[in-house]
Amino acid sequence: MQLHTFCIDDFIESDEHFHFARKALDTSKPKFLHCHDFHEVFIVTHGATHHWVGDDATRLERGSLVFVRPGDRHALQAARGDRNEIVNVAIRSEIVGHIGRRYGREIGPRFFWHDGTKPDVHQLTGPRFERAINVSSELQASGNTLAAIEGYLLTLFTRVVELPVSVDESAPQWLVAASDAAKRPEVFRQGAAGFVKAAGRGHEHVCRMARKHLGMSPSRYVNRIRMQHAALMLAGSDRAIQDISAECGIENLSYFYRVFQRQYGTTPRQYRVNHQKNPMRAS
């Protein structure tokens, strides 16, 4: 495909910091790839999208959050079927550079600083996806200010994308892949068995390597992810605690309470009370 270069000054004024758009994509195959002199975030809000990077296309489902660097040669195409829409935010690169210099140690090699050949992609579900939609709508309604776009990016980095458990650099690739797979609901609902299945190795070997490179057993690793998911649902919804426990793959409610309290130091019910308080409402 041919390559076009987009410039942010063609979209915004010199005193503006970002460009926000909601786009319905075409189902036709792109006629060209593009790169740009700015950084870009997009979220698939409806339907599914084919993301072309070079000559390869990856299907992105609803809830995909993608961080595109200036040099990424890419294009987007709607998958056939349901209505397709993305939220797209183009950001002046000097803003991203400032955030990287200030928070680089905390952010790590992720998002725009991902060193892979393709843009960094995160799959959002449940409350995390809802939060991404809400903060994007707030950005759209805000003034085009530096504070608004920096706040938006930091919210994505720290409150939308799940913070990973550190994996030892010497860990085998199959263990890294299993650790990533365990973040998906269809895997973590199976508990340690889902982790072992994703690893594709014997149970004892997986347990031994997990303790060595993750610093914990597969069961504890998966339970951390389950409880993070539960905490988001407790704070972001009114679903019954028993339903949230089942959503995490835990049918025994007393066991769910014990694991949650071990991780957060409080019961699920009290966690919900503490995190659903409206700070603008008087006690």
- Dist. CA 142–CA 136, nearest whole Å: 10
pTM, two decimal places: 0.65
Q: Outline where 112-267 has alpha helix (H).
A: 126-141, 146-155, 173-181, 185-188, 192-199, 203-213, 218-236, 241-247, 253-264
- Dist. CA 272–CA 238, nearest whole Å: 9
**What pLDDT, on a 0 to 100 scale, did the predictor assign at position 32?**
94
Q: Which two tokens stand for residue 200?
A: 């594709």
Per-residue pLDDT 10s for the chain (283 aa) are 789 999 999 999 999 999 999 999 999 999 999 999 999 999 999 989 999 999 899 999 888 999 999 999 999 999 987 788 999 999 999 999 999 999 988 787 889 998 889 999 998 876 778 889 999 999 999 999 999 999 999 999 988 887 656 676 788 999 989 998 998 999 999 999 999 999 999 999 999 999 999 889 999 999 999 998 888 788 777 899 999 999 999 999 999 999 999 888 889 998 888 766 543 333 2
Q: Which two tokens stand for residue 158?
A: 């720290």
- Dist. CA 116–CA 72, nearest whole Å: 11
- Dist. CA 264–CA 78, nearest whole Å: 41
Domains delineated in the chain: 2-160 (2.60.120.810), 173-275 (1.10.10.60)
